[in-house]
Amino acid sequence: MSKTLRRRLHHGDVDRKEQDYYDASESDGLDEPLLQKHERYDMPSGKITLEEVWTAEQQREHLHWTLLLSQIIAQWAQWIASSILGTGSLLGRLFPLVLSGPTTVPTRKLLPPSLSPLQEERLRYLQQRLGVSFDGSRVEHQDALRQLWRLAYPDRDLPALKSEVWKDMGWQGSDPSTDFRGGGYISLENLIFFAQKYPESFQRLLHKKDGNRAEWEYPFAVAGVNISFMLAQMLDLQAGKPSSPAGIKFLEMLAEDDMAFDNLYCVAFQMMDAQWLAKRASYMEFNEVLKSTRNQLERELALDDVYRVKDLPAYNMLRG
């Protein structure tokens, strides 16, 4: 694959505003997305063969149709539910207040469900993780950063904790610790989990191996921090007990999988990259892509036959 010029993202660059799509959390560990404005940086470019171009185009088309099929499944399920349970049906006439409503994923708050002791324990542990800020002075946080490097680049020497080499992974500067404010320590844990659980997908996204890439690409590591933040907001995890539709469905998943958040993170990252390629996006569209990723993920979580992360249509895009 040819290497192209990549530019770091900044949410102010994307929409010419100082604020992002999501509200900032009051938690110290999970604050707000951090896509700082940085100078353009160059990567060496090489010659592209016709075979490489054709292979890249085939990969992009494959991801495009996989994502499109995922969207169609979600839309069909909503259409069927609307047809069967709409106000014009027998059930709709019997229970109009319960069954009527928009066919899109609702954003209203619902009554939080009663949780089992296991769900409460796992939710409490996850919220504790979300509250931990990245602290570059803590040895365990330094070791986790080094672990991520070894997983990402097993054949390369480990750099110092402050080095220009970290930019290769998609950090905005020579000190990765300055980029974690947006997602806290859990965003580093998410990246490590992704690299360990789905190494092939992780490597393909890290090295931008799929499809025709933009001249100015999204920075891999910082995009991962933003995805952690987006998921926590979407799932309403800053509340004592989630009450959004997506958050309530996530609580069901948490009963089946104590690492549901981390697994959902991997799906969201892969989905975001597929959206990026399908839209032929460049760095100025990053926030738009992230927003559409959230919308698609909410639609899939709303499907009736989804009980685990593995039940999501987009899960099939992941490769271990």
Give residue 283's pLDDT: 87
What is the rounded radius of gyration, in angstroms, for the C-alpha atoms of the chain? 20
pLDDT beyond 90 at 161 = yes
Q: How confident is the model at residue 72 (pLDDT cuts 50, 70, 90)?
A: low
Rounded CA-CA distance 308/301 in Å is 9
Q: What mean pLDDT comes out for the span 124-145?
A: 96
Higher pLDDT among residues 56 and 26, named by residue: 56
Q: Which of 20-24, 116-120, 202-206 has the lowest mean pLDDT?
A: 20-24
Task: Please enumerate in sequence order all residues whose Cβ is within 8 A of that of 63, keeping only pairs 6 or more positions apart, or say none.
Answer: 210, 211, 273, 274, 277, 278, 317
User: Which of 57-68 are b and which e, b meaning 16 or more Cβ less than 10 Å from the residue's Cβ?
Assistant: eebbeebbebbe
Can you tell me the distance from the alpha carbon of 141 to that of 235, in angstroms, rounded to the nearest whole number?
A: 25
| 249, containing H or E segment | helix 245-256
Q: Give pLDDT tens digits for 217-246.
A: 999 999 999 999 999 999 999 888 898 999
Mean pLDDT of the residues in the chain: 77
pLDDT at site 73: 54
Mean pLDDT over residues 71-87, rounded?
Answer: 47
Give me the mean pLDDT over the 168-173 stretch.
95
Q: Is the pLDDT of residue 87 over 70?
A: no
Binning pLDDT at 50, 70 and 90, where does residue 214 land?
A: confident
pTM: 0.71
Backbone angles phi, psi at 6, to 5 degrees: -120, 145
DSSP conformation letters of 16-53: SSSS-SSPPPS-SSS----------B--------HHHH
pLDDT given at position 62: 55
CA pair distance 232, 223, nearest whole angstrom: 15
43 confidence band (pLDDT: 50, 70, 90) = very low
Position 107 pLDDT exceeds 60: no
- Dump pLDDT digits (tens) for 247-296: 999 999 999 999 999 999 999 999 999 999 999 998 889 999 999 999 99
**How many angstroms separate the first and last alpha carbons of the chain?**
21
